[in-house]
């Protein structure tokens, strides 16, 4: 069970990092429409995935009695 929980938390953390990098890259473009629209959407996704990762880490700590 611990390995499964670690894998799920790891996936959530990697997804957060990838979305963060994608958002930073999208801010590098000169096109204002792409920058504003995509950056805002990526920020919302990052917050949602990051929140999910935090909740999963909390649940893992409770379930695994860490």
For the entire predicted model, the pTM comes to: 0.80
CA distance 57 to 51: 10
pLDDT in tens, 10-66: 999 999 999 999 888 887 777 766 677 788 898 999 999 999 999 999 988 888 886
Contact present, 5 and 60 (Cβ < 8 Å): yes
Question: What token pair was written down for 57?
Answer: 């880490």
């Amino acid at each position: 069970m611990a390995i499964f929980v670690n894998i799920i938390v790891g996936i959530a953390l990697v997804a957060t990092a990838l979305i963060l990098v994608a958002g930073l890259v999208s801010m590098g473009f000169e096109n204002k429409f792409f920058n504003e629209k995509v950056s805002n959407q990526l920020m919302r996704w990052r917050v949602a995935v990051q929140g999910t990762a935090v909740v999963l880490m909390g649940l893992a700590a409770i379930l695994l009695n860490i």
